Amino acid sequence: MSLATQIKPISYLKSNAADIVKDFATNPETIIITQNGEAKMVVMDIHEYERQQETLALLKLLAMSNNDFNNGNFQEADEFFAEMKSAE
């Protein structure tokens, strides 16, 4: 995706909102909306937004896990499985 072709002024959004929504069915590329020449918002397909949110949530979990590991907050696998087995 070339971001340069997806940059549109706010007037484009105002006059083409219905077409933009319809076009997302076949071309779900994100559109950057500018106001007075400055990027102000992003318009994107809901499914792409949901995928990004899921990805961010997974990355957050990985970062938290990495932080726990670096701080020594972890358990050896043998210990963990022994606890799980004894809980049965």
Domain residue limits, the chain: 3-44, 48-87
Each residue's pLDDT tens digit, 31-40: 999 999 999 9
Report pLDDT digits (tens) over 44-64.
999 999 999 999 999 999 999
Fold of 3-44: YefM-like fold (3.40.1620)
pTM: 0.67
Helix (H) / strand (E) element for 79: namely helix 77-87
Closest CA to 40 of 48, 31, 49: 31
The pLDDT score that the predictor gives to residue 3 is 72
60 to 7, 42, 47, 53: CA distances (angstroms): 29, 22, 20, 10
pLDDT recorded at residue 4: 73
End-to-end CA distance of the chain: give it in Å, rounded.
51
Q: How far apart are the C-alpha atoms of 30 and 42, rounded to whole Å?
A: 7
